[in-house]
Structure 1
Amino acid sequence: MNTSTSLTKIALRKFRKNFWGVFSLSFLGLCVLVAVFAYALAPDDSKNANQMHLSIHSKNPGFKVSMITIPGNTEQESSLSTFFFGKKNVATEIPINSYEITGEGIAITEYTSDGTAGLRKDYPLRLFPKANSAEEIPGKYISEEKFLLGTDKYGRDLLSRMLIGIRISLAIGFVAVFISLIIGITLGAIAGYFGGKVDAAIMWLINVTWSIPTLLLVIAITLALGKGFWQVFIAVGLTMWVEVARVVRGQVMSVKQMQYVTAARALGYTDFRIILKHILPNALAPVIIISAANFAGAILIESGLSFLGIGAQPPMPSWGGIIKDHYAYIILGKPYLAVIPGLAIMSLVTAFMLIGNALRDALDVKA
C-alpha cells in the first residue's frame, strides 16, 4: 500500500471523527454556495443590492410594504453577467401607502412611517408597457415586499447586502492566503535549504516585516496602491506571508537532514527538484493549519479596513462597511443593524479556526 495514501486516509478518518471540524467545513461549504448564488438568492438582485428606498430606512426585521415599480429603459444584459454581478437597476421602486385607479393611469400615495398623509403622485398608463389598461397596473406593477432582516439607513434590503457581502469576505480570504502561501513558501524554502547569507538576508526581511503592526502595514500598502477592491486583496496577502515563511523555513531545515534528501543529492538532482519534489511535500502539514488561521485573519483585517473606510468602497457591500454605517444605531434602539454583520463575521472566523484545530489534530503524527 502507498504510504502517502495510507497517511492521507488516516488523516481524513481522524478529521471525520471531529464533530466541530466537520460541522465547520459543512458551514463553509454552505457559505461558498451562498456566495456563488448570491444574486439568485437575494431579494434585491440589482448590482451591489443598491436599490434605495429612503422612506423606509432602518425598518425592523420582517417589515412589509407595498411597492410600485416604474419601469425604466431596459438594457440588454447577458444572463451569465446578471447571475454573477446582478442586473443594472433601471427601474424605480416606490413604497406606497395606497393607490387609486384614474382615467389616465394610476395615482399613488407615497409611504410615510409617521402616519401623516404621503405625497400623491400620478403616473400615466404609458409608463407601464405590460399593462393594456389602468386596471391591470396593480396586478403587474404593485407587489408587497417583505424585508426579512429589515432595511439599512438608506432603505436597502439588509438581507441582500449580507448575502452579497459574503463574497467579499471569502474572496479576500482565498486571494490573501494564496498570495501569502506563494511568497511564504518560496522564501521559507530558500532560506531553510540554502542557509548562510541567504538565510540571514531573508530572516532580516521576515523580522522587519514581523515588527510592523499588521493593520498599520496594510493601511500603508492600501494607501500606496490606492483604495479599491483588488488593492485590499494584495495588501492583506503581502502582510500574511511572514508566519508561513518562518514555519516553512523551520520545517525545511529539519527535513533536509533526512537520508532521502542526501540520497537525492547523491543522484545529482537539482536543488529545485529536491526542494519541490522531496522536501516541501513532507514539510507542508503545519502550513495547511496556518492557512486556515490566516484565512480567518484576512477576513478580520478586511472587515477592519472596511470599517475604517479604506477597504471595499461603497456601494459595494462589505460586512465591515455595514457595521461602519450602522454602529451608531447600537445606542439608538436598532442594534441589529450592526450586530447582524458582526455575528456573520464572528461565525465565519470561528468556522475557520475550528477547521484549523481539526486539521491540527488530524495531521498530528504523534496522536
Structure 2
Amino acid sequence: MAAAAAPPVLPASAAPVRTPGYYVRQRLLANGPAMAGLAFIVLCTGLALLGYLILPDPTPNANDGLVQLQKQPPGTAVTILHRPLAQGRGAEPSVLQRWWGGAPARSQAVAIAGYRIVGDTLRVQPYRVKGALAEPELRLALPEATGRPGSAAELQRLVEQEHIEQRTYWLGTDKAGRDVLSRLLLGTRISLGIGLVAVLISLLIGVTVGAVAGYAGGWLDSLLLGLMTVVWSIPGIMLVIAISLAFGSKGVWTSFVAVGLTMWVDVARVVRGQMLSLREKTFVEAGRVLGLPTARLLARHLLPNLLGPLIVIATSNFAAAILLEAGLSFLGLGVQPPAPSWGLMVKEGYDLLGTRAGLWLTLLPSTAISLLVLSFNLLGNGLRDAYDPKTPLG
C-alpha cells in the first residue's frame, strides 16, 4: 500500500501573506510628520473629552472673570479670597453634569493684595492694577468671611485653609478677567466638535448623492451634478448665513449644522468620480447578473472600495471645518459669546491690538488653530501616501 504523500513544505524564506490594511498601517507608522499630527490630534481629543474636569476654571464656558484682573500677562500670580454667595451654595452638581456643562461658582472670588486677621475682623488690601487709584482697605467680620461662627483661632484657620487661594494665570487673563488657559483648553471641544459634526454630515450627504449620481448615470447624474455645481458656486459664508436665518438662531449647534451642510459637495464629487470607474468593473457586472439589489451592491461591494479616498477627504474636511468655524466666529456669524471659541478669542484679542495684552490674546488662539489644522493636514497627507501602493515601506 502506497504511503500518503507528505504535505508540501514552504521554504523558510517565504514571506507571510499580508492584507492590504497591514501595508497601509506600516506606511502610515513610518511617516513621522503624519504620526506627529496624529499624536497632537489625540492630545486635543483627550482634552476635549475631559473638558471641565481638568480646567482651572470649571464654571460654565470658563466664564468666571474677575474685574480686578483684566488683561493680565501670562504667569500672573494673585491671592484670591472666596466669600460665600448671598443666595447660598445650592445643590452640588453630579460628575456627569460637571463634565458636560461645568459647575457654577460656589463662592464669590475677590482678588486681594494681602490680608491680616485682627481680633474678629479680616482686613483685606484690595488688588490694585498699576495706574489704578488705590482702594481703601476692606474690613470683614470673620463670621461673614467664613460663613461659620467660632473662636478667633478657629476662624483664622478656616480663613487660611478654606477661603484663601493662591492662583496663577499661566496664560494670563482676557479683557473680562477670565482665565485664558481654561478657555483655550475648552475651545478644543468646540473646534473638534465642529469638525466631527461637519465631517459626519458631509459624509452622509456627500456619499449618498455621489453614489447615486455615479452609479445611476443618465439624467439623474446630470441633475445631481448640476445641484453640486450650484452649491459649489455659493460662498460658504453665504450658505451659513442662509442656514442661520432658516434656523432662526446663531448658537453652537446651528454653527455645527451650518458648517456641515456647506462641505458635502467635495465628498459627493469624489464619490461620483470613483463610482463612475467602479461600476464598469467585472465584480459589479457579476453582482448584477446574480440579481443583487442595487442598495446591497452599493453598500456591500462598491462603497468599501472608496474607504481610502473617503478617509483622506474626511481629514481634509476636518481641517477646513475648523478654519471655517474660526472665520465665522471671528466675523460674529458662528459661535456666540460667552462660549470659548478659538475664532471668537482671536477676535477679542484683535480688538485689543496696540495694547500690551493684544499680542498674546491674539497669538495664543491663533497658534492653537494653526497647530490643529496643520496636524489634520499632515495626517491627511500621510493617509494619502499610505493608501498609495507605490509608496515604499519604511
* TM-score computed with the length of structure 1 as normaliser: 0.95
Report what 1:339 is aligned to: 363
Amino acid at match of 1:320: G
- Kept in 1, the 8 Å contact 2:128–2:134? The answer is yes
Who wins on radius of gyration, i.e. which is larger?
A: 2
Report what 1:10 is aligned to: 23
- Kept in 2, the 8 Å contact 1:165–1:318? The answer is yes
> Which stretch has the larger CA shift, 122-131 or 45-54?
122-131
SS for the counterpart of 2:112 is strand
Gaps in structure 1 of 5+ consecutive residues: none
Report what 2:197 is aligned to: 175
Report what 1:224 is aligned to: 246
> Which stretch has the larger CA shift, 140-149 or 182-191?
140-149
Shift in Å, 1:83: 2.6
CA deviation profile, 1:204-227 (whole Å, cap 9, x unmatched): 110000001112222221232221
CA deviation profile, 1:220-243 (whole Å, cap 9, x unmatched): 212322210100011000000001
- Kept in 2, the 8 Å contact 1:102–1:134? The answer is no
Report what 1:272 is aligned to: 295
CA deviation profile, 1:289-337 (whole Å, cap 9, x unmatched): 1111100010011111111112111111111111111213332223001
Paired residues, number: 365
Shift in Å, 1:364: 1.0
Gaps in structure 2 of 5+ consecutive residues: 1-16
CA deviation profile, 1:92-145 (whole Å, cap 9, x unmatched): 100011223244441312111126432433333333236744322133211211
Report what 1:293 is aligned to: 316
CA deviation profile, 1:60-99 (whole Å, cap 9, x unmatched): 1000111101122222211221133211124110001122
Question: Aligned to 2:165, which of 104, 124, 143?
Answer: 143
Matched, 1:316 2:339: yes
Matched, 1:74 2:74: no
- Kept in 2, the 8 Å contact 1:103–1:134? The answer is no
Taking every aligned residue pair, what percent have the same amino acid on both sides? Answer: 41
Amino acid at match of 1:227: K
Question: Aligned to 1:125, which of 112, 120, 142?
Answer: 142
Question: Aligned to 2:61, which of 48, 57, 60?
Answer: 48
Matched, 1:32 2:45: yes
- Structure 2 counterparts to residues 234-273 of structure 1, below 5 A: 234-273=257-296
- Kept in 1, the 8 Å contact 2:143–2:155? The answer is no
Q: Which has the higher helix share?
A: 1
- Kept in 1, the 8 Å contact 2:318–2:376? The answer is yes
Amino acid at match of 1:28: I
Q: What root-mean-square deviation, in Å, do the aligned CA atoms of Structure 1 and Structure 2 show? A: 1.7
Give distance in 1, aligned partners of 2:364 and 2:135.
31
SS for the counterpart of 1:96 is strand
Amino acid at match of 1:341: P
Amino acid at match of 1:74: R
Report what 2:176 is aligned to: 154
Give distance in 2, aligned partners of 1:5 and 1:316.
48
Shift in Å, 1:5: 6.9
Give distance in 1, aligned partners of 2:97 and 2:212.
43
- Kept in 1, the 8 Å contact 2:206–2:271? The answer is yes
Report what 2:102 is aligned to: 86
- Kept in 2, the 8 Å contact 1:131–1:140? The answer is no
